[in-house]
Amino acid sequence: MDIFWQLFLQGVILTVEYALIATGFGIIFSTTRHFHIAHAGVFTLAGYTLFIFVSLLNIPIIGSLILAVLIAALAGIGIYRGIYDQVLKRGGTMMTLFIAALGTLAVIENGFQAIFSATPQAVESESMYKIITIFNGTITLAQLIFVIVGIIVLLGLQFFMLKTKTGRLIRAVAVNPYLSQIVGISIKKINMICYAVGSALVAIPACYITIDAGALSGRGLELVIISMMAVIMGGIGSFVGGWIAALFVGMFFNLSVLHVEPHWQSAVIFVIFLIMIMVRPRGLFGQRA
Amino acid sequence: MEIVIGFAIIASIYVILAASLNILMGYTGIFSMAQGAIFGVGAYTAAILQTQFNFNFIFALIGAIIVAGIASAIMAIPSLGVSGDYFVVASFGMQMLLFSFFMNLTDITNGSAGIQRIPRPEFFGFVVGSDIAYLILSVVLTVLVLLFLISVTKTGFGRVLRAVKEDESVVMSLGKDPKRAKIVATVLSGCVAAVAGSLYAGYVTYVNPNSFTVHESVFITTLVILGGLGSWKGVTVGTIILLGLPELLKLLPISDSHAAPIRQVLYGLLMIVFMIVRPQGIFGATPKSSIQVIPDEKNTAAVIGEEEKA
């Protein structure tokens, strides 16, 4: 029972990681239809930014965290305006955009690897590793803060999307960009907001992982791909669907440890994804495929 | 001289890989991120059949083609019925899954240590032992593959593929099944990548998982895109140029651990710049701009008309 509880706690942490990445990718993809694979690059960038601020510039960790999230948001806007928009402006298709995104990912991932080598760069912060006991399970302070912040951010975002004007505009653009443009919504502005929000969301787990295990190029890609599967399984455009899928994936990775060998877990998730898109291509809560 | 022959063998292997992806991306407009892993499936299957089951090169090659075709079908059949975006995710998943197989199916693949002592191909008692002989074999296979693929694109099936890329509904209205055409193209592409894999295994006589990572998939994609999607000249000349480019980096005083990521950064930058300035790649045909000159309002109005009808 103790092992089960401990695995459950780990499952909650992983769920929040996937939910944040999936929601970030989902808000960008459902609104812009850009296949933003460089989302994984923003993850890497945020992780190394935190490392640079804390370990190299000695800025207090709270300040560094805020700065890392802000810089990730700016990087997201920068990628959209500086690269994707330039591609589309010259008559590029979604395919050319994806290729440019792939190039962006390669530049970010390998650029950091060239600078910081292929070993993880850990942030030394003793206070963050303090062990906290919850019933019979233990987690670190960093993990506890991450889960609480993550859940608050996700719920706040859901409120923002449903109750505020900007949130409604984003949903309008996601449903019908052409009509939205006609009623005077600036698509470019909405897209920029989505990139900023989505990139800030992916920065949160990136910072947590940098504290927990260190920043490392390439660490984000697998997380982002599994999150994309979660977005599709949950239904594009539905946050709650994505969270349920993230919960399923996060819990599966931990609770199945006793029955499924770790290296087969991704395989099982992938097979479930393939079955899901065959049986129900629009996902759990998706409007359309 | 040895270096030149070695480079030429590797180049011919990558020309086959680029050609395999050209059918998929250039002609059919499907984006796969699993080509590196499918290449690996070909290499591993050929290696295993030759070392453990004493198959000769030809039968090992056929086996590799079949297994890689099946792996391609597994990712293509569920996802291509939905959309290209789903296929990208599915192919990423396949890449991860296959890499995990190479790493963890230790009974078959020997894990991270890989498979060693793969024999050089043998034909009727003649062993293709020397590098120059291997180069001849590689070039012959490359030419055969290219001729085969080019002739495929000239058949009715090839025209269906190109039509699928332009407009699927037109294909459907002509009574052809775009989904089936896309699945066949994916399987064909996987089979061709297996030829490259078998050649690779026979040349280096050693395979391990690190040769078939997601970076390899991205690299093969880069070759096709920068050479020019749909351009056979891009597949051949472009691939050789792009493979030669990092050799120039070796002239600069950069340590080996830095050279690999810097090479990737260079390719990434090339990809971004090309997509903005010249999306058709080095040798791709200039798109006919006359089609693009539809006034914006008209276009929007047409789209709204469609929405209302729907």
User: pLDDT tens digits for B87-135?
Assistant: 888 888 888 888 888 888 888 888 888 888 888 887 777 777 788 888 8
CB-CB: which of B103, B221, B269 is closest to A102? B221
Q: Which CATH class is domain B2-277?
A: mainly alpha
Across the interface, whether the CB atoms of B271 and A100 are under 8 A apart is answered yes
State whether residue B268 is helix, strand or coil: helix
Asked if B78 reaches chain A (Cβ–Cβ under 8 Å), the answer is: yes
Question: A251 pLDDT band (50/70/90 cuts)?
Answer: confident
A124 class by beta-carbon count within 10 Å (0-12 exposed, 13-18 middle, 19+ buried): exposed
Asked if A40 reaches chain B (Cβ–Cβ under 8 Å), the answer is: no
pLDDT computed for residue B126 by the predictor: 78
Radius of gyration (Cα) for chain B, nearest Å? 21
pLDDT computed for residue B289 by the predictor: 45
- What span, in angstroms and rounded, lies between the C-alpha atoms of B30 and A98? 12
Q: Measured between alpha carbons, how far apart are the two ends of chain A, in Å?
A: 41
Arithmetic mean of pLDDT, A54-82: 92
Question: B43 pLDDT band (50/70/90 cuts)?
Answer: very high
Q: Is the pLDDT of residue B293 over 80?
A: no
Radius of gyration (Cα) for chain A, nearest Å? 19
The residue of chain B nearest to residue A111, with distances taken between CA atoms, is B265
| Range with lowest mean pLDDT among B52-56, B120-124, B220-224, B225-229 | B120-124
Size of interface A-B (CB pairs under 8 A): 136
Asked if B75 reaches chain A (Cβ–Cβ under 8 Å), the answer is: yes
Which are the contacts of B256, defined by CB distance < 8 A and separation ≥ 6?
none
HSE of B24, CA atoms in CB hemisphere, 13 A: 32
| Range with lowest mean pLDDT among A197-206, A267-276, B19-28 | A267-276
pLDDT computed for residue B103 by the predictor: 87
pLDDT computed for residue A126 by the predictor: 73
State the angle between helix axes of B214-227 and B239-249 in degrees (0 to 180), rounded to the nearest 10: 120
Which are the contacts of B296, defined by CB distance < 8 A and separation ≥ 6?
none
Distance from the Cα of B8 to chain A's closest Cα (Å) equals 26
Asked if B258 reaches chain A (Cβ–Cβ under 8 Å), the answer is: yes
The residue of chain A nearest to residue B103, with distances taken between CA atoms, is A263
| Range with lowest mean pLDDT among A230-239, B166-175, B268-277 | B166-175
**Mean of all residue pLDDT scores within chain A:** 87
Interface of B with A in 266-285 (CB under 8 A): 267-272, 275-277, 279
- Token look-up 């640079």 returns A52
Asked if A35 reaches chain B (Cβ–Cβ under 8 Å), the answer is: yes
- What span, in angstroms and rounded, lies between the C-alpha atoms of B247 and B138? 21
Q: Are B215 and B19 in contact (CB under 8 A)?
A: no
Arithmetic mean of pLDDT, B132-154: 89
Select the more confidently predicted residue: A110 or B119.
A110
Complex ipTM value: 0.85
Q: Count Cβ atoms below 10 Å from residue B144 Cβ, excluding itself.
A: 12
